Amino acid sequence: MRRRVLRGVAAPRPTTHTQPSGRPAEVLALDIADVNFERETVRIRGTKTEGSDRTVPLWPQLARILRPYIGTRTTGLLFPCSRTGKPLRDLRKLLARIAAEAGLEQHITPYIFRHTYCAARLQTLDGDAPVSPYTVGKELGHSGDALVRRVYGHLGTVRHRSKVVEYPTERLTLKAGKRMFAVRTANIQSRKIA
**Least confident window among 12-26, 81-95, 117-131, 156-170:** 156-170
Domain boundaries, the chain: 2-163
First to last CA, the chain: 58
Tell me, what's the pLDDT at 1? Answer: 40
Residue-wise over 11-38: b if at least 16 C-beta within 10 A, else e? eebbbbbbbbbbbbbbbbbbebebbeee
Give pLDDT, residue 5: 38
Q: How many residues does the chain have?
A: 194
Question: Per residue in 45-95, pLDDT tens?
Answer: 876 777 778 898 888 888 888 899 888 888 888 888 878 888 877 778 877
Q: Looking at residues 147-176, what average pLDDT do you find?
A: 60
| Across 5-9, 45-49, 113-117, 151-155, least confident range | 5-9
Lowest average pLDDT, out of 8-12, 22-26, 76-80, goes to 8-12
At 186, the pLDDT band (50, 70, 90 cuts) reads: low
Residue 3, pLDDT > 50, answer no
Q: What is the model's pLDDT at position 10?
A: 47
pLDDT over 70 at 190, yes or no: no
Q: Which CATH fold would you assign to the domain 2-163? A: hpI Integrase; Chain A (1.10.443)
Q: Report pTM.
A: 0.66
- Other C-beta atoms lying within 10 Å of the C-beta of residue 40: 13
